[in-house]
Homo-oligomer: A and B are copies of this chain.
Amino acid sequence: MSTHTITANEMEAIATGGAFLGTGGGGDPYIGKLMAQAAIEQHGPVEVIAPEDVKDDWLCVPVCMMGAPTVMLEKLPAGDEANRALEQLEAFLGRKADALICIEAGGLNSTIPFAVAAATGLPLIDGDGMGRAFPELQMVSFTMQGVAATPMVIADEKGNSSVINAISNLWTERLARSQTIEMGGSALVALYPMSGEEVKRGILRHTLSLILDIGQVITGERGCNRNPATALIEKLNGKRLFSGRVIDIERKTEGGFARGRAVIKGMDEDQGRVFRVDFQNEFLIALDDDDKPLAVTPDLICALDADGGLPVTTEQLRYGLAVTMIGLPCDAQWRSPAGIELVGPGYFGYPQAYTPLEDLPL
């Protein structure tokens, strides 16, 4: 896809597709959609450009929300934090941004950049740094490409902000996470300022087009009274993990994250089995009755409402909800040793080694 424009209308499908690729996390995209739609109504549509059209010497900046999705549901942004974060980063760098990027292709963070792009008139690059959502800020392809997360600006809805300069992207995560917690559990950030050349080296390409596409498939299938699971699995080269009803859900907001696990009792062809999915903002691992993994981070674990067919975020999991869990292979960058070190099961404390989704039994 080359340059095209996104109108308020298409934000509907982008929010839905983003919620699916968000692998349970990234926050409910509803608020982000409303923010993007309001900004587009006011300032006009957003120009989305292909990574190939980014000039090497451009300054490109990801803007996103940081924090626990459970907090974001209740602590609404004032609306201008992301713009303020971007402006302060530009002031610190002494240079205006030439384009914006989505840090992740999932949840709120695939819609908020549209709001900022509309308000600033900057183009948004078709791609992101994860190809999904991940809970921590160093977990982007750009880290593997040697791009520094700082200088980074973090801003809250009250008017507080910080410019962080850290010695590593992991230290940026630590310092920004403690600011996020102090700011009330969520904040808006502008980070990873990078050149167009760096963007082209690290970005996961055309993922905004992909989430628009996913959103349209979901809407289309639902319009025909079909659950989108089958169409999505086929389209995305995915795997049906299981279907079942939530019989137990455990969650806590700790360390600035929404952490927990859901126990799901199999239904239909999975009748008689019991499954478990763990999450830290995003789904990290899906296990069967014998604690054998069915899908492991960084591969994607996505949830669809088995009845309505809409994506389900971890905050929406509740007793009795029927879900279909789908596994998708992650981007090849994540399957490299550096990728597995950054976002593999070991980082999150799981003893299981990473096994690609395709090689795991069902």
If A174-B182, A182-B178 touch, does A162 touch B160 (CB 8 Å cutoff)? no
Query: A167: CB under 8 A from chain B?
Result: yes
A189 shortest CB reach to chain B, Å: 13
Which residues of chain A from 147 to 202 have any CB-CB distance to chain B below 8 Å in the complex?
Answer: 158-167, 171, 174-175, 177-179, 181-183
Contact flags A236-260 to B (C-beta < 8 A → 1, else 0) = 0000000000000000000000000
Docked complex Cα distance between A161 and B164 (Å):
6
A214 shortest CB reach to chain B, Å: 37
Q: Which residues of chain B are near A182, meaning CB under 8 Å?
A: 174-175, 177-178
Q: Which residues of chain B are near A181, meaning CB under 8 Å?
A: 178
Q: Which residues of chain B are near A165, meaning CB under 8 Å?
A: 88, 160-162
Docked complex Cα distance between A92 and B88 (Å):
11
* Total residues of chain A contacting the partner, CB 8 A: 21
Are B162 and A175 in contact, CB atoms less than 8 angstroms apart?
Answer: yes
If A178-B181, A178-B182, A182-B175 touch, does A167 touch B162 (CB 8 Å cutoff)? no
Docked complex Cα distance between A325 and B181 (Å):
40
A213 shortest CB reach to chain B, Å: 40
Are A163 and B160 in contact, CB atoms less than 8 angstroms apart?
Answer: no
Q: Which residues of chain B are near A179, meaning CB under 8 Å?
A: 162, 175, 178-179
A274 shortest CB reach to chain B, Å: 39
A237 shortest CB reach to chain B, Å: 41
A163 shortest CB reach to chain B, Å: 4
Are A158 and B163 in contact, CB atoms less than 8 angstroms apart?
Answer: no
A8 shortest CB reach to chain B, Å: 33
A71 shortest CB reach to chain B, Å: 16
A254 shortest CB reach to chain B, Å: 15
Q: Which residues of chain B are near A88, meaning CB under 8 Å?
A: 165
Docked complex Cα distance between A264 and B177 (Å):
42
Which among B158, B164, B177 is the interface contact of A162 at CB below 8 angstroms?
B164
The residue on B at minimum CB distance from A175 is B182
Interface residues of chain A, those whose CB is within 8 Å of chain B, are: 88, 92, 158-167, 171, 174-175, 177-179, 181-183
- 11 inter-chain pairs at a CB distance below 8 angstroms, sorted by A residue, are A88-B165, A92-B163, A160-B166, A162-B162, A162-B163, A162-B164, A162-B165, A174-B182, A175-B179, A175-B183, A179-B179
The 8 closest A-B pairs by CB, nearest first: A163-B163, A178-B182, A178-B178, A159-B167, A162-B162, A162-B164, A160-B166, A161-B165
List 12 other contacts, CB 8 Å, given A159-B167, A162-B162.
A88-B165, A92-B92, A158-B167, A158-B171, A161-B164, A162-B163, A162-B165, A162-B175, A175-B182, A175-B183, A178-B178, A178-B182
